[in-house]
Amino acid sequence: MSVVQRLGAGWLLDHLSFINQCGYETHGSLAHPPHAALDTCAPSVGRLCAASACATTCTSRDDPPPGDALEPEGKRGKTRYVFREEFFDVLKPHIVAAAPERLCQGGSEGNPMDTSGSGMEQREGAQGDTGDLDASARKKRKRKCAFNQGEVDALEYHTKIRELIWEGTLHLVQEGLKSGFLHCTTTKLHCSKNVVPGPMGCGLAELCEMAKQFPAINDSDHEAVRAIDDKTFILEQDLHSCVIENNSSCAKMIVLMGQKYLVPPKSNFLLSDISCLQPLLNCKKKYDVIVMDPPWENKSVKRSNRYGYLSSWQIKQIPVSSLAAPNCLVVTWVTNRQKHLRFVKDELYPHWSVKTLAEWHWVKITRSGEFVFPLDSSHKKPYEVLVLGRVQGRVEEALRKSEEVLPIPDHKLIVSVPCSLHSHKPPLTEVLAEFVKPGAECLELFARNLQPGWTSWGNEVLKFQHIDYFTVMQDEN
């Protein structure tokens, strides 16, 4: 269960627990890839095509490479993997708030919306115990000009929702402290940075680009879904041209460009970019829930070159109308730019015949129950926005469907300790369960990880399934 506490204000989630309850247990030789699948370098498309068994379920028909001992034939061991706990060791705020703005202090006093030198900027620059901000950094952040229109819009929005965020989070944190899930302490906490190298070899997004150079496949002659099993090899060409399915009750390990990825049970995925969505449409499946986290265009992304981004026009081209079942619940993650929020509500959802119903907020806290950033920080906010809506269909059908599920409430909070890995969003499975029919078909667009019971698509859909993010919990023979 990911829900630790459920109150009128929203939910307190345990993201780590959800991941580890997904069933990451492999059986037998699935934990060990064949020799043919361990080519760790593919600098060209020609080399990629030659290594046609790079993406495959793991078998033992070849001799093992050094360092990869295989299970003896007939031996069916079990290996259980758990997500590395240190990725959720957010022990202290990134910037320590002034005492009146700390949740554990129990109140918010003064004028937190003051943007003068004695208000927001001083609070954001408060060093507390972190020692991370010095006088020169604070001086650099001082404004030399008036707020631009985007900043004015953001401040107005924050003013409207601030009390909701504060009060709701305070109540959920208090319940988390009572239950022992959170631990409020005045002891100075030391959080070491646990950096794990990312997957070696070719990146997933780059691999999607290379896959476009494969020969075209006739959709009528190609299966829409390919199941992973113990004996079937899955070629790169198949990986990008059809949905891959793990329909078993245990996790499976696949190898892609020499890198190992864990696929949870009862999950489907398509590894491709936005130009190659046809394999998803070929399944002819309609989804009752569609969640998406688009790579929004912003200055930070452009500067860091961390990942590609899409324009508003490109996002509108996603064929949601072809993927959505009647009365489908559509949930979109939005950054704290009012431009993007207005685009989703005023342009994107109407374009898809989706009616906006609610705005929720994901609030990020530390394990001691503090906001990861001061609530009134002018630099970064400790929350993100989710916009929820439903696909509009025939009136009689909508009325019939509405009797089966609860109406979507507005202004709910999802409070959790965030993963330190960039863009690893909290799970929405249990949170959305009461607002969709039992056995609902769920789809995540722009996904970076997999979930049981969901179909996931994206050009980095396996990113957080890489085995380096997991550790072996036990090995049972």
Q: Give 416-457 pLDDT, tens digit per residue.
A: 999 999 889 999 999 999 999 999 999 999 999 999 999 999
Mean pLDDT of 220-234: 71
Closest to 242 measured CA to CA, from 205, 292, 282, 204: 282
Q: So what's the pLDDT on residue 245?
A: 94
Distance (Å, whole) CA 55 – CA 270: 13
Name residue 185's amino acid: T
Report the range of poorest mean pLDDT among 202-206, 315-319, 321-325: 202-206
How far is CA 182 from its chain centroid?
22
Angle at 295 between CA 215 and CA 346, to 5 degrees: 115
Beta bridge partners, 256, equal: 259
Strand 56-57 relative to strand 252-256: parallel, antiparallel, unpaired?
A: antiparallel
Does 135 score more than 60 pLDDT? no
Mean pLDDT of 359-381: 93
Tell me how crowded residue 355 is: count the other CB atoms within 10 A of its CB.
13
Name residue 284's amino acid: K
- Write out pLDDT tens, residues 51-95: 333 333 333 333 333 333 333 334 457 899 999 999 999 988 877
Q: So what's the pLDDT on residue 371?
A: 96
Distance (Å, whole) CA 397 – CA 418: 39
Residues 6 or more apart whose CB falls under 8 angstroms from that of 410 comprise 357, 358, 359
Mean pLDDT of 230-236: 60
Tokens for 459?
């050009």
Does 360 score more than 80 pLDDT? yes
| Residue owning tokens 């696949």 | 254
Q: So what's the pLDDT on residue 215?
A: 55
Mean pLDDT of 235-250: 83
| Residue owning tokens 């023979």 | 477
Does 218 score more than 80 pLDDT? no
Between 93 and 344, the more confident residue is 344
Tell me how crowded residue 325 is: count the other CB atoms within 10 A of its CB.
18
Taking a C-beta distance cutoff of 8 angstroms, is the pair 439, 286 a contact? no
Tell me the H-state helices in 408-466.
429-432
Does 273 score more than 60 pLDDT? yes
Q: pLDDT category, 148, cuts 50, 70, 90?
A: confident
Q: So what's the pLDDT on residue 153?
A: 86
φ, ψ of residue 294 in degrees (nearest 5): -65, 150
Taking a C-beta distance cutoff of 8 angstroms, is the pair 315, 352 a contact? no
- Write out pLDDT tens, residues 98-110: 666 677 655 444 3
Report the range of poorest mean pLDDT among 93-102, 189-198, 259-268, 340-349: 189-198
Mean pLDDT of 331-360: 95
Residues 6 or more apart whose CB falls under 8 angstroms from that of 472 comprise 79, 80, 81
Closest to 17 measured CA to CA, from 4, 29, 35, 5: 4
Q: So what's the pLDDT on residue 224?
A: 86
Does 464 score more than 90 pLDDT? yes
Q: So what's the pLDDT on residue 237?
A: 65
Does 121 score more than 50 pLDDT? no
Taking a C-beta distance cutoff of 8 angstroms, is the pair 378, 358 a contact? no
Taking a C-beta distance cutoff of 8 angstroms, is the pair 272, 279 a contact? yes
Distance (Å, whole) CA 151 – CA 258: 46
Structure letter (DSSP) for residue 199: P
Please list, residue by residue across 432-462, b when 16 or more beta carbons sit within 10 angstroms of its beta carbon and e when fewer do. beebbeeebbbbbbbbbbbbeebbbbbbbbb
Distance (Å, whole) CA 71 – CA 30: 9
Does 132 score more than 80 pLDDT? no
| For the ranges 36-50, 116-130, 290-304, the one whose mean pLDDT is highest | 290-304
Taking a C-beta distance cutoff of 8 angstroms, is the pair 419, 15 a contact? yes
Q: pLDDT category, 233, cuts 50, 70, 90?
A: low
Q: So what's the pLDDT on residue 195?
A: 53
Burial class (CB in 10 A: 0-12, 13-18, 19+), 310: middle
Mean pLDDT of 458-469: 93
Q: So what's the pLDDT on residue 379?
A: 80
Question: In which region does residue 439 sit, left (phi positive, over 0), alpha (psi from -120 to 50) or beta (all else)?
Answer: left
Q: So what's the pLDDT on residue 442?
A: 97
Residue-averaged pLDDT of the chain: 77
Q: So what's the pLDDT on residue 186?
A: 47
Q: So what's the pLDDT on residue 175?
A: 96
